[in-house]
Amino acid sequence: MKRYIVLLLFGFYSSVAQTVTTSVDKKTIKIGDQVTLTLHLNAKKTDQVVFPELDSIGKWEVVTNHPVKTIRQKNIDQLVKKYTITQFNSGTYTIPSVEIAYNKQKINTQKQTIEVKDVEVDTLKQPLYDIKQDESINFNTTLNEAQPLVFWQVILVFLFLGIVPVIVYWLMKRIHAKYDLKREKYTPPFTLFSTQFSSLESLKTQPKLFYSKATELIKSYFEVTIEIPALESTTDEFLIRVNQKTKEQKLEISQTTLQSLEQVFRHADLVKFAKSKLNETILLQDQKTIFTCIQEFHDKLPQSNEEIRVARALEAEQKRQFKNKNYRQFAVVLSFLLTAIAGTVYLGYQNIYDALLQYQNGKDSHYYLAKDWVTSEYGYPAIQITTPKALERNASDSIAPSIKSTATFKWNSLKDNIAISVETKAFKDTTKFELVGIIDYEQALLLQQGVKKLKVDAKKFKNQNGVEGDELVSNFEFLTNGEIEKITGIILVLHDETSLKTVRIFCRTTDKEKTNFIEKIKNSIQLILDEDEE
């Protein structure tokens, strides 16, 4: 899925980047007046775009090659290149297409037609004026200075968003619990009888109340189980109906049990209506008899309609509870997914991916290729280079007697995932450089830092700006934080008779995008000539 998204975005941005807008600030000028030709090109940060540095465009003389300016528009950079041109002959002239190198493609700009008029020199007709200067245009070059996300920020945001599913689960459970309180609770007849009968333990000191409650519970049990009008019956009617039902349903109830139950009701009538006083031993015996009789009926009775209804209600309740549990789990998963999507949209997929990748691999080439880079000039003779961060000067540079000036600028070291350095040297006299000596010097520098298994290969290189030199490709091992890391280094050597410029780039060999990273730096190199050289 990630691959498809990347390909889709790449296709979209590529199509946008290939759109070039050409414009001029004047359509009619006088001889010697200046015209500003402006080129606008949209590109991604990782695209390699080179505008030509021209002395002339067709029959137009180039007065100034303005530096490329960058305007940030969301995730697309708008590159603006301006040429100030002029013409000293009257007539109608066409500004031909300018060829721009875009990655491995070539893009041609639109042609523009401008009319050049003669300057009237009769001061009686019109006064003389100075040639109008080109209007200055202020570009908003403010870049997105938002700091990239780090791993702990991503975790913190998603932990905060994770509270939402917890709240959803708690609310749903509370709603279900509140609904359960309003539902009718079904209790099996024997369970209900046992619970209520055990509560009569405290009434043993009040025989009349004890027997009244006990006989009412017995009648209620039989009314539900064998479905007789027990509560409306007298004692004799109740006992007769119980005996009849026992015979009708062919219940295997012993005569002793029936007689014991009858004896309990006789004692109850004596206490309630004859106001007889039974000793405590009889009451305790009747208490045991009641429970034993009901227990036997419960064991022998088939399921009554009430019990079937209760069983079905309990089964339905269990299903409902299971369904509610599934609802809560689904709501938690759904809310988690929605909050995760919201968090991803809010933070940005690429930012999250970069933070996770940074946590796993550190800040590697992929991380820096997605960020804004810095273009600066370093040393003397000056060399212009674009890097992820500005290089810092090494204050400990020493100057040999044969050297007029030297300077070293660095960012990071071999202990980091990526390291870059630029060294410039200007010699007092003409110096002949031999590649073998330069290779020995670079090897010695690396060996002094403790590298192992060093291998160096040499070849020629030329970048998109026409800068040529020697390229040393080095591979070696370096001990970092107790672990051996394999490192690939690219050393670019640029020299003439009086100066030597060296650009060193080191990346982990396992860095998957190190090639794109190194190529971007190589193609950004430009040599800056001082006024004497010009």
In eight-state DSSP terms, residue 394 is: P
In angstroms, rounded to a whole number, what is the distance separating the alpha carbons of residues 128 and 111?
32
Quick one: 2-117 is in which CATH superfamily?
Immunoglobulins (2.60.40.10)
How do strand 99-102 and strand 49-50 relate by DSSP bridges? Answer: antiparallel
Edge-to-edge strands, sheet with 105-108: 49-50, 99-102, 105-108
Angle at alpha carbon of residue 333, lines to 331 and 339, rounded to 5°: 95
DSSP structure string for 326-346: HHHHHHHHHHHHHHHHHHHHH
The amino acid that residue 14 corresponds to is S
- H helix runs in 184-279, sequence order: 189-198, 207-225, 235-248, 255-272
Q: What is the pLDDT of residue 396?
A: 60
Please tell me whether residue 206 adopts helix, strand or coil conformation: coil
Half-sphere exposure of 264 (CA within 13 A, CB side): 30
Does 373-527 match 2-117 at the fold level? no
pLDDT (tens digit, 0 to 9) for every residue of the chain, 534 residues total? 444 444 444 443 444 445 678 888 888 888 888 889 998 888 877 778 888 888 888 888 888 888 888 876 666 778 888 999 998 888 888 889 888 888 878 888 888 888 888 765 554 445 555 544 433 333 333 333 345 555 566 677 777 777 777 887 788 777 767 666 555 566 777 888 888 888 888 787 788 888 888 888 888 888 888 778 888 888 888 888 888 888 887 777 888 888 888 888 888 888 888 777 777 788 888 888 888 888 888 887 776 555 666 677 777 777 877 887 888 788 778 877 877 787 777 777 666 666 666 665 567 888 788 788 999 999 888 899 999 999 998 876 666 778 888 899 999 999 888 999 999 998 888 888 888 888 988 998 999 999 999 999 999 989 998 999 999 999 999 998 788 999 999 999 998 888 999 999 999 998 888 999 999 999 999 988 754 444
Q: What is the pTM of this model?
A: 0.42
Q: What is the pLDDT of residue 305?
A: 55
Residues 6+ positions from 219 with CB-CB distance below 8 Å: 230, 231, 233, 238
Q: What is the pLDDT of residue 184?
A: 52
Q: What is the pLDDT of residue 362?
A: 66
DSSP structure string for 75-94: TEEEEEEEEEEE--S-EEEE
Q: Which residue has the tokens 């026992």?
A: 246
Q: Identify which of 395, 361, 378, 299 has the alpha carbon closest to the alpha carbon of residue 508.
A: 361
Tell me, which fold does domain 373-527 have in CATH? Protein Transport Mog1p; Chain A (3.40.1000)
Give the domain ranges of the chain: 2-117, 189-302, 373-527
